[in-house]
Amino acid sequence: MADLVDTLRHGIRSGGGLALVAEAAGQVVGHVMFTPSLLDAPRRLVGVQVLSPLGVLPEHQRQGIGSALVRAGLANLAEGETPVVFLEGDPGYYSRLGFVPGAELGFRKPSLRIPDAAFQAIRLPAYEPWMTGTLVYSEPFWRHDAVGLRDANA
């Protein structure tokens, strides 16, 4: 995961993404990244964001830090031209933040290895109804094999 984060961080520095941290007593206790990717929509490719990763130190979990980071990131992206944010994650957690299964909004997951319930999206103000289609992860997610779940028994 550390290699993926380093690669994504470099891409964010190049423009288009967002990284936020939460601090307590001068120590970073939480981190979230929003990484540029594409939506292969019928009309054209659309720039979107992928929320990954989100992490909070174990001793600081269950204090609302992760939720606050996600909300701050979504608010920041909502002020710009990002129409949709996607993620792979626990629907029990992310549904509280407004995410819904991507298929319910007309989106297709980029890999069959992603469980249907884990593939989630949230529409932001820049969204337009024609923006449906397949999420295309940026290259680092594929290079670091960070898409979906591998079957160890396959």
CATH number at residue 75: 3.40.630.30
Our CA dihedral for 83, 108, 71, 142, rounded to 10 degrees, sits at -100
Who has greater pLDDT, 140 or 68? 68
State the pLDDT confidence band at 58, using cuts at 50, 70 and 90: very high
- Residues 88-124: pLDDT tens digits? 999 999 999 999 999 999 999 998 888 999 999 999 9
Expressed as residue numbers, the domain containing 17 is 2-21+29-143
Specify the number of domains making up the chain.
1
Q: Decide if 130 is inside a domain.
A: yes
1-37 tens-digit pLDDT = 556 555 555 556 556 789 999 999 999 999 999 999 9
How high is the mean pLDDT of the chain?
Answer: 87
Asked whether the whole model's pTM tops 0.85, one would answer yes
